[in-house]
Amino acid sequence: MANGIGGGCSRGVFLAAAGFLAVAACSHGATVKQEPAKQVQEFRLSREDVVEVSVWKEPELSRTVPIRPDGKITLPLIGDVQAEGLRPSDLERQVSKSLASLVRDPRVTVIVHDVNGSRVYVAGQVAHPGAFPLRSSINLLQALALAGGLAEFADRGGISVLHSDGRRSVVDYDDLVNGKVSLPLSAGDTVVVP
């Protein structure tokens, strides 16, 4: 009993009992609403994004460039390269392949500096309609919050989302606020509040 609680076995029983009591005290009968696991989409480059293309040991070939409206970037020696819609790793491989006949063992790294191309649009009866950058996943309620919320005379029951893939969804604002509906948005989606 030199350790104050008893033998090593007593200490283990004491810690197990303390842990059980802590868990029991925290579980007070409330149910936890679990959200379904979100599928993370791989980042794809868009028009107006700014990327740094770095060629190891070839500083004269390295550039920081915006992706043009036609979806391309221009690099020394190889000219125009399609970038829109590619993952950064895909662009690395494409530039490396293009440089292979010109540079010995090209090692290319693509770093995304600014994500400017992906946007969601909110129009109609909101405080601040406009285009909002899509820097991470966002849902309809968050987009409405970015737009300053609904205007005083907005139709709370008929919010439309025109998805970039051609689908259309109509949502009730109260269902959004009460958590009955959560509608994720994608780049190019347009929210219309009548």
Tokens at residue 108, please? 């290319």
- CB-based contacts of 87, cutoff 8 Å, min separation 6: 42, 43, 44, 45
Please report the domains of the chain, with CATH numbers, ordered by start residue: 50-114 (3.30.1950.10), 119-193 (3.10.560.10)
45: left (phi over 0), alpha (psi -120 to 50) or beta: beta
Element (H, E) at 94: helix 88-99
pLDDT the model gives residue 84: 94
pLDDT the model gives residue 24: 46
Q: What is the pTM of this model?
A: 0.60
Q: Is 35 exposed, middle or buried (0-12, 13-18, 19+ CB in 10 A)?
A: exposed
pLDDT digits (tens, 9 = 90+) for 47-91: 899 999 999 999 999 999 999 999 999 999 999 999 999 999 999
pLDDT, averaged in runs of 10, over the chain (194 residues): 49 52 44 42 86 97 96 97 96 97 96 90 97 89 96 94 95 95 93 97
Q: Alpha-carbon distance 116 to 51, whole Å?
A: 11
Q: Is 143 exposed, middle or buried (0-12, 13-18, 19+ CB in 10 A)?
A: buried
Number of H helices, E strands in the chain: 4, 12
> Are 160 and 183 within 8 A, CB to CB?
no
> Are 51 and 83 within 8 A, CB to CB?
yes
